[in-house]
Amino acid sequence: MDMKNVIDPDIKYVDKVLCIIVPKENMNPNGNRMEKKINTGK
């Protein structure tokens, strides 16, 4: 399923890798993490 076609643009994408919700600006069109690192506190 192509998430970018089924999720409202204002809804944040779910990061399947970190199991957290991240702003869609941090996601690439495939819904995967971009090179930009997310601060998870680890």
Q: What is the pLDDT of residues 12-40, one digit of tens each?
A: 555 555 555 556 565 555 555 555 555 56
Kind and range of the H or E element at 14? strand 13-15
Rounded CA-CA distance 31/42 in Å is: 22
Long-range contacts of range 1-6, CB-CB < 8 Å, 24 or more positions apart? 3/31, 4/29, 4/31
Entry pTM: 0.14
Residue 5, in any domain of the structure: yes
Residue 34, in any domain of the structure: no
Residue 39, in any domain of the structure: no
Residue 13, in any domain of the structure: yes
Residue 14, in any domain of the structure: yes
pLDDT for residue 28: 57
- 28 CA to centre of own chain: 7
pLDDT class for 5, splitting at 50, 70, 90?
low
Residue 35, in any domain of the structure: no
The structural domain count of the chain equals: 1
pLDDT for residue 16: 55
Range of the structural domain that residue 10 is part of: 1-28
pLDDT for residue 2: 55
